[in-house]
Amino acid sequence: MKLVRYNQLDPAFPSSFGGIVEKLFNESMGTASARKFNPAVDVFEDEQAFEIHVAVPGMKKSEFQVDLTEGKLTISGERRLEEKREGRSFHSLETHYGAFSRSFYVPDSVLSEQIEAIYEDGVLKIKLPKVEKRTQKATIEVK
């Protein structure tokens, strides 16, 4: 086990007092459009494929963009806050909104033309199939 920085899990949290003051000032000045968040991501691997799960409930599949460029897979989108309606006021707002972008380097063993992305039950699932490993076994005659 190693020692980790306290706020390492939340990169959006300022690490200094000046950063906290700046964050409070900017949020109070209404720069909500510049807000970003990092959705939770799980990465799995088995013999056939890698799989990336991005937890982003409340979005539509048309709001995602998934690109593979020069070995870098980028998943991006924006979850927008529902517009205020007359007679409605929020008492608590814990859901994160805003633009996001997550990138992953894809190994050469991935078949890029067969990558699939499916959005269901609030989770974007991206499957990256691997090249089949061929086990070659042969007896070689010594001449």
Task: Give the tens place of pLDDT for each residue, 1-14.
Answer: 332 334 344 555 65
**What does the pLDDT average to over 128-139?**
78
Average pLDDT over all residues of the chain: 78
The one-letter amino acid code at 42 reads D
Residue 141 belongs to some domain of the structure: no
Report the domain count for the chain.
1
- The CATH number of whichever domain residue 121 belongs to comes to 2.60.40.790
State the amino acid at position 108 in one-letter form: D
Q: Is 120 a member of any domain?
A: yes
Q: Residue length, the chain? A: 143
What is the Cα–Cα distance from 99 to 34, expressed in whole angstroms?
A: 8
